[in-house]
Amino acid sequence: MTTTPPIRQPCPPGACDCGRDPLLETPGADVRILFLTRSEEKRLVERLENLQSLSDLERLQQRMYEQLGIRVDIAPSFNEVRTMRGIGINVGEQPGLCRKTRQSIPAAIRRALEKRPEIAYALLNANDLLRDA
């Protein structure tokens, strides 16, 4: 007997634009994102807030993509980076991804970068912004 993993509960009507129901109704659709329940989302956000290094961040980005299909792009802005707000964190649009989750992932990464600025410096260095410093 196989059991299906729990899927995320629907958002209140009008509160979200995630497209959960059409995703469930589409045959052959990628429903991995719906396995991110509210409790799993809290664990993910907590894990993102407690990053230890740039490689840890990159590993989490890869795992989010493999397990949930969430694509997170992190790159410095084209202008100067004076604060953590100058680092662009974009969560790709995806059917089934809740609006609140799209906001909480970048916020958690920013909190981690503020706690550990060496990760932000490594990110800037990886993008060749600190080559002359």
Terminal-residue alpha carbon distance, the chain: 60
**What does the domain layout of the chain look like in residue ranges?**
20-126
pLDDT for residue 55: 94
> Taking 70 as the threshold, does the pLDDT of residue 58 lie above it?
yes
Which of 4-13, 43-52, 63-72 has the weakest average pLDDT? 4-13
* pLDDT for the residue numbered 41: 93
Task: Tell me the average pLDDT of the chain.
Answer: 84
pTM: 0.85
> pLDDT tens across 78-130, in order?
665 555 667 888 998 888 888 889 999 999 999 999 999 999 888 888 876 55
- Written as one string, the DSSP assignment of 43-77 is HHHHHHHT--SHHHHHHHHHHHHHHH---EEEEE-
